Chains A and B, each alone.
Chain A
Amino acid sequence: MLDRVRLAVPEGGVVAVVGPSGCGKSTLLRIVAGLLSLDGGTVRLLGDPVTGPDARVGLVFQEPRLLPWRSARENVAYPLELRGVPRAERLARADELLASVGLDGFGDARPAQLSGGMAQRVGLARALVLAPPVLLLDEPFGALDALTRDRLDAELLGLWERAGSTIVLVTHSIPEAVFLADRVVVLSPRPGRVVAEIPVALPRPRRWADLDGVESGRAAAAIRRALEESADPEAGE
């Protein structure tokens, strides 16, 4: 699936991983999250080798992955519940988190009553509820419409700027990668390898309107070129 992937993510940075479908980007994220084990090699998280799921990691999946029988509030409170935080305390904390992702007043809603974007916000709130220093996102907003996705990306950046966590994001959207990341890692088709690391030197805080500049155009073009070259049969295995 993956082959000789070398990747260092600085603390407090945002790294986006881009690659064609099936190149193993989600696998890479699952390995970092401790959900899959490696055949060889090591992954270190904040200095410690990864041996299993880590409480210092917040995970956002491709789909909201909410427990359908629970309210939005109880879904956000779920990680706290597993750690034995008292009910009143964890529900209050969940309400704070829901407010921070713009879902004030939706605590009692069931997942089935929420739109796709709202459900994914609940998923994001759940990932943030333990205030993790590392946030891993697996094509988090890929299933949403483009406008909702842009908004959620901007809100994610706002949350990141306040929390200062480290973010690793898997995406197949080049604009999303450029907008969010300090550095974009491009993977080749399976077996996935790092074919390019492209820095994005856009000033922060960023806004979508800033993305029309020269630097973002350069970064996007570089990502596209790396993807095309790695897809070329001559460059393949």
Chain B
Amino acid sequence: MRRDLLLTAGVGLLFLAVWQAIVLIGGYPPYILPSPFAVAGRLASAAGTGILFPHLLTTLVEIALGLALGVSTALLLGFLLARSRLADRLLSPYLVAAQATPILALAPVIVLWFGSGLLSKVLICALICFFPMVVATTVGLRSIDPRLVELARSLRATQRQLIRTIEVPAALPQILGGLKVAVTLSVVGAIVAEWAGGDRGLGVLINLARGSLFDIPLMFATLVVIAGLGVTLYLLVVLVERRLVGAPHQRS
């Protein structure tokens, strides 16, 4: 485990070293490719002057609400699809069609309908999280060992008990797998939504840094924050997974 962490850190350092080498060898100016040091310095100053936090907070709120909405609806619908062949046959083609339509193309339409406030961001964010969660939930619930269901039935479990003691725990590994994809996509959703219209958020900050501020190191610093946000959310899910399901090697 410790060795893994060291290796991961090593890969990160290698990446930074290559980046720095490219800057040095290519002699690029900071407005094309700032060095890792310049980006780190700009990140520190942006955090210090308070330009970063309001944007970060806005994006975090959008992600939190979008995830909550997208994941909860997906769990409910996934449950329905796993239960009912009819619902599956009626709805699945449209779900796939909705997923296949690029979120970049949908976002402006959603902003057009719901305004450029928080609501449209939450909706776009929820939409992008939705599909992987539905698929994970449906697959998880469908792959439950029917013998365990029979056991619960022989013990006269009620429908609710069956869901709570068999279906949810059995489908949990798959659901958490879907959640890993969903949280990373939720960051993408929030940024895309902010680009489609908005006055605050990390996506807006990128646009500002690239445009009117012309502060390319700040743009890179924002990218680092966005990537860090995705990684943090992902690791949070891994942590929950460890608690609820156990580490991968402990699973049967």
Q: Give the interface of A toward B (CB within 8 A).
A: 33-35, 52-53, 55, 57, 59, 61, 63, 65, 67-69, 78-79, 81-82, 110-112
Q: Which of A53, A57, A78, A81 contacts B153 (CB 8 A)?
A: A53
Considering only residues 146-161 of chain B, those with a C-beta below 8 Å from chain A are 147-148, 150-157, 161
Q: Given contacts A65-B151, A67-B148, A69-B245, is CB(A81)–CB(B252) below 8 Å?
A: no
Query: A53 contacts B155, CB within 8 Å?
Result: yes
Assess the A82–B151 pair: CB atoms within 8 A.
no
Q: Provide a sorted-by-A list of 16 A–B residue pairs whose CB atoms are within 8 angstroms.
A: A33-B154, A35-B154, A53-B154, A53-B155, A57-B154, A63-B147, A65-B147, A67-B165, A67-B169, A68-B251, A68-B252, A69-B172, A78-B155, A82-B157, A82-B161, A82-B165
B166 contacts the other chain (Cβ, under 8 Å)? Answer: yes
Most buried by B among A33, A34, A53, A63: A53
Roughly how many angstroms separate A47 CA and B90 CA in the complex, as a whole number?
48
16 new A-B contacts, CB < 8 A, other than A33-B154, A35-B150, are A34-B154, A53-B154, A53-B155, A55-B156, A57-B154, A59-B151, A65-B148, A65-B151, A67-B148, A67-B166, A67-B169, A69-B172, A79-B155, A82-B161, A82-B165, A112-B250
On chain A, the residues within 8 Å of B161 by CB distance are 82
Measured between alpha carbons, how far is A61 from B151 in the docked complex, in Å? 9
Q: Residue of A at shortest CB range from B169? A: A69
Task: Provide the bound-state CA to CA distance between A102 and B233, in Å.
Answer: 45
Please report whether the interface of chain B is mostly helix, strand, loop or mixed according to DSSP: helix
Q: How far is the CA of A47 from the CA of B157 in the complex (A)?
A: 23
**In the complex, A82 Cα to B151 Cα: how many Å?**
12
In-complex Cβ contact of B154 among A59, A67, A111 (8 A):
A59
| B47-80 vs A, Cβ < 8 Å mask (1 yes, 0 no) | 0000000000000000000000000000000000
- Minimal beta-carbon separation of B188 from chain A (angstroms): 32
Instruction: Count residues on chain B whose CB falls below 8 Å from chain A CBs.
Output: 20
Within 8 A of A (CB), among B14-53: none
Contact A81 B147 (CB under 8 A): no
Residues in B lying within 8 Å of A, measured CB to CB: 147-148, 150-157, 161, 165-166, 169-170, 172, 245, 250-252
A152 to B11, CA, bound (A): 54
Look across to chain B and name the residue whose beta carbon is closest to the beta carbon of A35.
B154
CA of A65 to CA of B148, assembled, Å: 7
* A28 to B206 Cα, complex, angstroms: 70
CB distance from B209 to the nearest CB of A (A): 47
Once bound together, how far apart are the Cα atoms of A34 and B151, in whole Å? 12
CB–CB A110/B252 < 8 A = yes
* Docked-complex contact B169 and A111, CB < 8 angstroms: no
| A111 CA / B252 CA spacing, docked (Å) | 8
Cβ contacts under 8 Å, B148 to chain A: 65, 67
> In the bound complex, how far is the Cα of B187 from the Cα of A124, in angstroms?
50
Return chain B residues, CB-CB under 8 Å to A33. 154
Query: In the complex, which residues of chain B have a beta carbon less than 8 angstroms from the beta carbon of A34?
Result: 154
Closest 5 CB pairs of A and B: A112-B252, A68-B252, A53-B154, A69-B169, A53-B156
Nearest B residue to A84, CB-CB:
B161
In angstroms, Cα B67 to Cα A88, docked, is 37
Cβ contacts under 8 Å, B166 to chain A = 67
Asked whether, in the complex, the Cβ of B252 is within 8 Å of the Cβ of A78, the reply is no
| Chain B proximity of A157: nearest CB distance (Å) | 23
Q: A53-B155, A69-B245, A111-B252 are in contact. Are A81 and B165 (CB under 8 A)?
A: yes
In whole angstroms, how far apart are the Cα atoms of A84 and B176 in the complex?
29
Contacting residues, chain A, for B157 (C-beta < 8 A): 82
- CB-CB < 8 A to A79: which residues of B? 155
Contact assessment for A82 and B252 in the assembled complex, using a CB-CB cutoff below 8 Å: no
| Contacting residues, chain B, for A35 (C-beta < 8 A) | 150, 153-154
Check B154–A78 contact: CB distance below 8 A.
Answer: no
CB distance from A57 to the nearest CB of B (A): 8
A112–B251 Cα gap in the complex (Å)? 8
CA distance A111 to B245 in the complex (A): 14
> Which residues of the partner chain A approach B152 to less than 8 Å between Cβ atoms?
82
CA separation between A34 and B156, bound complex, in Å?
A: 10
Q: Which of B155, B172, B250 contacts A82 (CB 8 A)?
A: B155
Tell me the bound Cα distance from A35 to B152 in angstroms. Answer: 11
